[in-house]
Every structure is written in structure tokens, then in C-alpha cells.
Structure 1
Amino acid sequence: MQRNATTRYPILLVHGLFGFDRIGRFELFHDVKQALRDADCQVFVPQLSAVHDNEVRGQQLLNQIERVLEGTGASKVNLIGHSQGALTCRYAAALEPLKVASVTSVSGPNHGSELADSLRKALVPGRLPEHVAEELATHFAQWISLLSGRPALPQNAVAALNALTTESVGQFNQKYPQGLPSVWGGQGAEQVNGVHYYSWSGTLQADLITNLRPLDPVHGVCRALSSHFVIDEGQNDGFVGRYSSHLGTVIRSDYPFNHLDSLRRSAGLSSVIPDAIDLYTEHALRLQAAGL
């Protein structure tokens, strides 16, 4: 029997880098959105640039929040951001805390990504490799926007990459510190300016059974990218370090998930990997219990 997890305020699912709401019949948050709607939650997926910096995307999110509030009559929203979407949500909550009931970071680089650091070092500003990478990534993002029916949204791949490095996120955090832990690997304040903060994330597991996923190329890519981590060596999901993901109340930061597992069903691996989609329904119940 489906649990009733109706939240007081609507939920907005905020995508990260190269994300989108819908392309044709494919929705990035399909499983998550369906599970939450089955649990009687009111759910929306805002339209944001696929690649841009945190503040540009944050302003876009604020505009979307206004539309949701006007359309639903609600006074606030609950924000759940995946990956860079977590930074986008944090920006919106910092600027308009009276319109945000909660921010939940899912696999969010809240202290930056060592992978972004490695890419930034490899792509020297002004050199040909950076120019080629920028053109390819930006055109890919424009293609995503076109297919999703949002061709007018601005795209800037270099701005997105710069916004995810540990240095840039450090600067971002100085301006918007709400919910951040005071010590590395710790928990942050549960509530700041009336906004509740939560986070969860995963790590690539060392045991053979969990890693035996030959038909999942995304998992292989994440394992290959994990070699770029030093601070969170052996404690990352391929894109984001475990302790970099901490924000507010840390529900758990070592689920056996790679970076994209936290958005999808476990594809027959449920005996090994907890179903990530159930975490969203559980979280809706958590928000419900908190009166959010």
C-alpha cells in the first residue's frame, strides 16, 4: 500500500550539469517524480540552463519558484537539488528564505568537486583544448535545450566548470554559507533563516559484488573518474566527494551509489543497492513530519 507523504509545500526537483526536465517522452526525474506523485506530493521540475554558473541558474530557479507559488497558492516550496542543482537551490534559499521551506542536497558538490579541479587544470584558459571543449560542451547543452523545448536558455560550459571547482565553490560558500558544516565531514545547521537543510549522497563501494555491473557503462565511467580524487580518495561517487556533499542534516553520505544512481531505479540490483527512489519518498515523509 502506497504511503501518503503529502508535504505542506510543493516540491521542486532541480537538475544539475547537463540536466533537463524533459526530452520527448524521457524525463530526467521520471522515477523520482512518479514516486512522489504516487505518494500524493505536488511536484514540479523547473526549467534551467543545462550548463551555466550557480548564480545564473539560481536566478532562473527564483523565477520558477515565483511561478509555482503563483500557480499553486503556496507560500513556500521544498527544493531538492541533484549535483550542481544543490548549489542552485542554496543560492535561491539564501536570497529568498521566506519562499523556501527546505533545501535538500542529493550528491551535491557543496565544497566543490576535485574532478572539476582536474578538468580546470587540464583545460588551460585561452588554449585550444579549452576552446574546443567549451564549444563542444556548450553546443551539446544547446542541443539538449532545443530538444527539451527550451532553446532560449543561455548556456556557458566554461562558466559551469569554473563554478564547480573547489576554489569557486569556496568563494560561493563565503557568500552563501547557510547549512554548511563548521568542520570537514561534519553536519551543518538543521535550520537557518527558517529554511531546513538536508543532504544525502553515495560512494563507489570497494566490494566486488557491488562493483560487478558490466552492463552499466555509467558505473564504469564513474569508477574511472574516481581516480581524480585525492582528498576524498576512495570516498566519492565519481563526480563528488563524500564529505564535500555534506549540508545541514546529513541523512547518509555513503549509500552504495555512483553519481547518477541517486536519480534512478537500481535496474535489477536491488539486492545489492538500496532503491534510490525510495529515499525520496522517505524524505517526503520526513518533510511532512517537520511540517514542511
Structure 2
Amino acid sequence: MASDVMKFADQTGSSDLLNVLISSFGKVIMWAQGLDGNAFPHDALAAGQSTSIEGTAEFNQRFRVGLPLTECSEGKAYEQGMYLYSMTGNKAVTNPLDPSDAAMQALDLLSAHKAGKNDGIVSVCSAKFGKTIRDDFAWNHLDEVNLLFGLKGTFAPDPVAVYRQHANRLKLQGL
């Protein structure tokens, strides 16, 4: 998906404008979180390339730690002195009051690579890394990071509570 947008932007000569618009959106998100958007560099085109199918495959070839050996399985829970965990949502649309759900649904519908259940951006199988804590949270990609006003599905667990629980899990492991 990201690589399709980048190709279109390159073909139309709008890549610089697209980079400015998306990078500015990143700064707005930083501002909304109370952070200085200028303190963290944004390069939407580089992000799009690194998260494209091709960019992800290249990254995974260079850094194999935690990756599953077979498709949609778990990777090693402990490797090279690191504990490795993953968790993900599996719904693109979670709350009709959340304006970001429309974007998640559009991304899900426009995705050229349908890969089964996904969070609107990343398939459940692609999210597997190390030990999978859960891959069935009723979250979309933005719910997973509690992005928009903390809106989530009615019966979905609170992402903040889930991450606190995970922090406690790491603490109990002495990390």
C-alpha cells in the first residue's frame, strides 16, 4: 500500500508535497501528545519505503531475531540475550464514534495484499514476533497505541492497561 502511494507520488511529481503533508501530520500528532514535533525528524517517504512490503522484507532479511521460522507461527521467546514479545489487534473498525476508524477501514479495503485478519494496516500473521501474547485484541492499528482520545471498541481491553500488564511481566522477569 505504502509503496503504491509512493510510486504514484513519484509519477505525478507530488512526492515532495506528499512528504510535507504527511510529515506535518506527524508533527500535529506529536503536538497533540504534548511533545515538540520539531524535536523528532519526520520523513514520510522514508517511512513509507521502510514499511512497504519490499522495505519490510529487506529489514527482516538483515535482522532475523524474533522472526518466526514458518509463516504465521511464533518466533523464539528469548534470543541473543533479549526477551521478545508481540501482541496485535485484528479488527480494522472498532468504534463508530472514532473518526480514525474510517481511515482504517479504507486502508483495509484498499490493501492490495489481503492477508486475512488484520488491524487495518498489519496482518495478524505479519505482526507475529517472538512469543505472541495475544493476536486477537479487538483493536485496530491506532487503538493499539491508544492514539485518538483513547477511543476503542466497547468491550475491547484498554491498551494502557494491557501495556502496564506487559511492563509488570517484564519487571517480574527482572528486566
Instruction: Give TM class, smaller chain.
Output: 0.7 to 0.9
What is the SS of the residue equivalent to 1:151? Answer: helix
How far did 1:120 drift?
A: 3.1
Distance 1:171 1:286, change over 3 A: same
Letter in 2 for 1:122: F
2:101 is equivalent to residue 228 of structure 1: no
Structure 2 CA distance for aligned equivalents of residues 198 and 278 of structure 1: 16
Give 2:76's aligned residue.
Answer: 189
Structure 2 CA distance for aligned equivalents of residues 276 and 222 of structure 1: 17
2:166 is equivalent to residue 283 of structure 1: yes
Give 2:2's aligned residue.
Answer: 116
Q: What RMSD over aligned residues (CA atoms) do the two structures have, in Å? A: 2.7
For structure 2, the residue ranges without an aligned partner over 5 or more in a row are none
The superposition leaves residues 199-249 of structure 1 with CA deviations (integer Å, 9 ceiling, x where unpaired) of: 0000117xxxx85x3321111221121013354444111121111111100
Distance 1:136 1:230, change over 3 A: closer
Structure 2 CA distance for aligned equivalents of residues 252 and 174 of structure 1: 25
For structure 1, the residue ranges without an aligned partner over 5 or more in a row are 1-114
Structure 2 CA distance for aligned equivalents of residues 288 and 128 of structure 1: 50
Structure 2 CA distance for aligned equivalents of residues 242 and 181 of structure 1: 13
Q: Is the 8 A contact 2:138 2:156 kept in 1?
A: yes
2:61 is equivalent to residue 178 of structure 1: no
What is the SS of the residue equivalent to 1:288? Answer: helix
Larger RCO: Structure 1 or Structure 2 (Cα < 8 Å, ≥ 6 residues apart)? 1
How far did 1:276 drift?
A: 2.0
Give 2:17's aligned residue.
Answer: 132
Distance 1:152 1:279, change over 3 A: closer
Q: Is the 8 A contact 2:85 2:132 kept in 1?
A: yes
2:42 is equivalent to residue 155 of structure 1: yes
Structure 2 CA distance for aligned equivalents of residues 178 and 156 of structure 1: 26
Give 1:45's aligned residue.
Answer: none
How far did 1:145 drift?
A: 6.4
TM-score by length of 1: 0.52
Matches within 5 A, 1:1-292: 115-123=1-9, 125=10, 127-141=12-26, 148-149=35-36, 151=38, 153-204=40-91, 211=94, 213-264=95-146, 267=151, 269-270=153-154, 272-292=155-175
Give 1:35's aligned residue.
Answer: none
Q: Is the 8 A contact 1:200 1:246 kept in 2?
A: yes
Q: Is the 8 A contact 2:86 2:131 kept in 1?
A: yes
What is the SS of the residue equivalent to 2:14? Answer: helix
Structure 2 CA distance for aligned equivalents of residues 202 and 230 of structure 1: 20
Q: Is the 8 A contact 1:229 1:241 kept in 2?
A: no
Q: Which has the higher strand share?
A: 1
Between the two proteins, what is the percent identity of the paired residues? 30
TM-score by length of 2: 0.81
Structure 2 CA distance for aligned equivalents of residues 268 and 201 of structure 1: 14
